[in-house]
Structure 1
Amino acid sequence: MESAYGIDVLPQNDPYVNLAERAIHSIAYALVPGRFLVDSLPMLKYIPGWFPGAGFQRLAKEWKVLARDMMEKPYAEAKLKIASGNAPHSFTAIALKSLDDHDDKEYHESVIKGTAGTMYTAASDTTVSALITFFLAMLANPEAQKKAQAEIDSVIQRGHLPDFDDESSLPYVTALFMEVLRWQPATPIGESLDSLYHAVTS
């Protein structure tokens, strides 16, 4: 949130985090193949919302508001901070300052807003999922954890953290992370083509 918008996240009950979590949950719920009958019978998207079996339309309206708020609200706060002159360093602040009078401002602002929203939401859910999977894998395979720790200890000086420059010296640790991502992917990779098609064309 800070790098995208320059907004400090509250330690608990942050309104922007709560909003993003609800929006991401709705997306994950909707992407399950066959969750809604309209996935199998696309013609149902044309029936009125009050019609039996059209509950997906009501949910879609609610989720659309969540998705819009998730993009609009933090962006609006970032713009207020920029206008007041006390905006911290962030993607949004840098991008908005780089706009000049010759640009199609409305279009470029929508791109900035979408990019900032994607920066925040795309990483939050998948990162947590990958970390949980990593902890599960280490609990289930303590010998792998010991081997990875031994490799880190042999390469990294005590009191320091590894960084990307150390990756080539840590083949086992690198393979371990790759295996975590392969074993339990953080994102669903089996969406039905119909649900993706309708998400794009609706």
Structure 2
Amino acid sequence: MLRIYNTLTRRVEEFTPLTPGIVKSYFCGPTVYDYTHLGHVRAYVAFDFIKRYMMLKGYDFIHVQNITDLDDKIIKRARDEGKSWREIADYYTRDYLEVLKALNIEVNIHPRVTDHIKEIIGFIERLIDKGYAYVAPSGSVYFDVSTFSDYGKLSGRRRAEEWRQEEEFLAEKKNPFDFALWKAAKPGEPWWESPWGRGRPGWHIECSVMSTRYLGTQFD
């Protein structure tokens, strides 16, 4: 019997996979703007230990671990070093993969954000159609936190002052704590065409799309 801490209920509970005999797991991978460090490695090794234990107990284990190869930090690093954002992302992706190989950590699926732009745009369109997101005058798209009554339930953060605000974009938000799903293009930044104009995904939507793409809408 495996017992784990359930963040939602705040209790230690017996683990039962949604599908008998199969564990489907999504692990948040790196934003590749710098070298892999000890903090990253600690998380990777700890999760690998849990995965190996479950496999020893007879579970089939599907392990998806993303690579965030498009982000504000990557763009800033590229600008600081006079390189393209793609050069930065590719260089530090290679470093990350070499570290995993050295640690003998195997991942079943390694999705990259830039390989899923079409799916991200489609996901955002569905959120807009269902009333959970809106298009700002700039062409950026935000998730409307007021439409989701359980927002903050998992993290335990319910008070407004506990959420980090994107000060630069407050003027065009309906609520101060709405977060960007799509960021309108700025000069010198990478962009893709979308129904709302040129831009790129916001950090929050990327893992939502990649996890459901490979594991479905519910996973362990």
TM-score, normalised by the number of residues in structure 1: 0.24
- Higher helix fraction (1 or 2): 1
- Higher strand fraction (1 or 2): 2
* Structure ranking higher on relative contact order (CA contacts 8 Å, 6+ apart): 1
